[in-house]
Amino acid sequence: MGIRFVLLVNKQGQTRLAQYYEYLTLDERRALEGEIVRKCLARTEHQCSFVEHRNYKVVYRRYASLFFLVGVDNDENELAILEFIHLLVETMDRHFGNVCELDIMFHLEKAHFMLEEMVMNGCIVETNKQNILAPIQLMDKAS
């Protein structure tokens, strides 16, 4: 299936966005987020951007105070996922202009919409920023 979840977590370990591509109960999510965030936050800048956790591999990248974590299957190309994260941030940046944590918090649904365009069924389906943002911009205009 490829991508199993996308998580945005800040330095304090507070969740800022969570999208799962397989169903987990609320308790399972809480536990998973706690464990993974603890693991990733403990790592230094010089270490790999990949962490194995249970049967996931977590690819993460830090932007200012925000960590972007993507959980993938074992046979996923980690470097590509790392760049996928960057693409997501670039896309957000294009939409919000100098995107910051607060932008995502105030426009949680839009951040989700972008992700919805980019990832479906755990697969990366769209990486063209124009295509990703077009429906969101149209929606903004309409409302």
Partner 1 sequence: MGSQGGWGQSKEFLDLVKSIGEARSKAEEDRIVLSEIETLKRRIADPDVPRRRMKEYIIRLVYVEMLGHDASFGYIHAVKMTHDDSLALKRTGYLAVTLFLNEDHDLIILIVNTIQKDLRSDNYLVVCAALTACCRLINEETIPAVLPQVVELLGHPKEAVRKKAVMALHRFYQRAPGSVSHLLSNFRKRLCDSDPGVMGATLCPLFDLITVDRSPYKDLVMSFVSILKQVAEKRLPKSYEYHQTPAPFIQIKLLKILALLGNGDKQASEQMYTILGDIFRKGESTSNIGNAILYQCICCVSSICPNTKLLEVAAETTSKFLKSDNHNLRYMGIDALGRLIKINPEIAEEHQLAVIDCLEDPDDTLKRKTFELLYKMTKSTNVEVIVDRMIEYMININDHHYKTEIASRCVELAEQYAPSNHWFIQTMNKVFEHAGDLVNVRVAHNLMRLIAEGFGDEDEGADSQLRSSAVDSYLRILGEPKLPSVFLQVICWVLGEYGTMDGKYSASYIIGRLCDVAEAHATDDTVKAYATTAIMKIFSFEIAAGKKLEMLPECQSLIDELSASHSTDLQQRAYELQALLGLDAHVVESVMPLDASCEDIEVDRSLSFLGSFVQQSLEKGARPYIPDNERSGMSHISNFRSQDPHEVSSHGLRFEAYELPKLALPSNTPISLVPPTDLVPVSEPTYARDIQPPPKVATSSDALSADIGVKLRLEGVQKKWGKPTYSSPAASSSSSTSQKTVNGVTHLDGVGTASAQTRDNLYDSRRQHVEVSAEKQKLAASLFGASSSKNEKKASSHKSIKGSTGNVEKSTTVVKTVASSESSKQGTSAPPPPDLLDLGEPAPESKPSIDPFQQLEGLLGPTPVQTTPESSVVAGPKAPDLMALYGDIPITNPSGSSTNPMVTNLYAANKNSQGATNVSTLKKGPNPQDSLEKDAIARQVGVTPSGKNPNLFRDLFG
Site for partner 1 in 62-91 (CB under 8 A): 62-66, 77-80, 82-84, 86-87, 89-90
Rounded to whole angstroms, the Cα distance separating 128 from 136 reads 14
Binding marks (x or -) toward partner 1, 33..52, rule CB under 8 A?
x-----------xxxxxxxx
Options 5, 71, 73, 93; binder of partner 1; rule CB under 8 A: 93
Q: Which amino acid is present at 9?
A: V
Q: How far is the CB of 70 from partner 1 (least distance, A)?
A: 13
Q: How far is the CB of 66 from partner 1 (least distance, A)?
A: 6
Cβ neighbours of residue 85 closer than 8 Å, sequence gap 6 or more: 59, 60, 61, 68, 70
Q: How far is the CB of 4 from partner 1 (least distance, A)?
A: 13
Instruction: Give the three-state DSSP class for 78.
Output: helix
Examine residue 103 and tell whether it contacts partner 1 (CB under 8 A): yes
Tokens encoding 39: 């693991």
Rounded to whole angstroms, the Cα distance separating 120 from 130 reads 17
DSSP state of 125: -
Residues in binding contact with partner 1, number by CB under 8 A: 82
Examine residue 28 and tell whether it contacts partner 1 (CB under 8 A): no
Options 4, 36, 41, 101; binder of partner 1; rule CB under 8 A: 101
Examine residue 32 and tell whether it contacts partner 1 (CB under 8 A): no
Rounded to whole angstroms, the Cα distance separating 115 from 18 reads 10
DSSP state of 6: E
Options 4, 5, 10, 38; binder of partner 1; rule CB under 8 A: 10
